[in-house]
Homo-oligomer: A and B are copies of this chain.
Amino acid sequence: MLRNYKFIIAYDGTRFFGWERQPGRDTIQGKLESVLTRLQGSPVEIIGAGRTDAGVHARAMAANAQLDVDLSPEEIRDYMNRYLPDAIAVREVKEAAPRFHARYKALGKTYRYVCFDGPVKPVFDRKYVTLLDYRPDVERMQQAAAYLQGEHDFASFCGNPRMKKSTVRLVDSITVVRQRDRIVFTFHGTGFLQNMVRILVGTLLEVGRGTRQPEDMPALLEARDRRLAGPTAPPEGLCLMKVDY
């Protein structure tokens, strides 16, 4: 019998070409689908809550797939973990309502972005932080973040130049906290555009560095022009922390 399952997945995105399946390339969706296809004996499609970019990590990506297998959710989880690469782990599998759709039903997402700006590079979590060679001013970034919080047209922060649909999104919380030599940005919102978190971080870092003013944010949102925002921050510091339903 075909059942709908919800998956919670953690991955170290370092060596993957992002979430989305691509022929001939290692992607998270591709790896998950090939393990599920092997389990079921026929093609399986897995739907993620979002598509993380190449090199981006996740602690709790949510996904769903329709499966016809004679196994308990725990057995499905264990089977997948046995055959997945070490950098991907299925944390949880449970049966979901037939109409549960990981992307359409997502109510919110939490992303975390970590920068390191100390004198001595980190060794053990070096693949999960973005190294800076300057020390940004956290207070200035907090001021800028306050302007960016809320419902806005984030077209200036959208990495897809051919985006046809609405670029209005609600980002209800952006926090910037220093933890010794680490700066931790946390974003929560109902949805994010392509590269949006990384462009927000790239822009906030320019504010933190002093080359841009916190008060410039309203005009930058207003402009709806990607060229006016900061660079797309590197993927390694970004991690999808949670998807709300």
Which residues of chain B have C-beta atoms less than 8 A from A157's C-beta? none
Residue of B90, B120, B122 touching A120 (CB-CB under 8 A): B90
Once the chains bind, are A124 and B120 in contact (CB under 8 Å)? Answer: no
Q: Give the docked Cα–Cα distance between A21 and B59 (Å).
A: 38
Instruction: Indicate with 1 or 0, residue by residue over A32-72, a CB within 8 angstroms of chain B CB atoms.
Output: 00000000000000000000000001010000000000000
Residues in chain B near residue A120, CB distance under 8 A: 77, 81, 89-91
- Closest partner residue, chain B, to A57 (CB atom): B124
Verify A81–B124 contact, CB threshold 8 A.
no
Partner among B77, B89, B126 whose Cβ is within 8 Å of the Cβ of A123: B89
Interface flag for A17 (CB, 8 Å):
no
Residue A25 interfacial (CB < 8 Å): no
Q: Is there a chain B Cβ closer than 8 Å to A12's Cβ? A: yes
Tell me the bound Cα distance from A10 to B120 in angstroms.
Answer: 10
Contacts of A121 in B (CB 8 A): 81, 86, 89
Proximity string of chain A (1-13) to chain B, C-beta cutoff 8 Å, 1 when within and 0 when not: 0000000001110
Check A78 for interface membership: any CB of B closer than 8 A. yes
* B124–A86 CB distance below 8 A: no
Nearest B residue to A13 via CB reads B123
**Cα separation A120 to B93 with both chains bound (whole Å):** 11
Across-interface contacts of A10 in B (CB, < 8 A): 123-124
Task: State the CA gap A193–B161 with chains docked (Å).
Answer: 62
The digit string for A72-88, where 1 denotes a CB below 8 A from any CB of B, is 00100110010000111
Neighbouring B residues of A81 by C-beta, 8 Å: 120-121
Cβ of A128 within 8 Å of any chain B Cβ, yes or no, is yes
- A-side residues, CB < 8 A to B, are 10-12, 57, 59, 74, 77-78, 81, 86-91, 119-126, 128
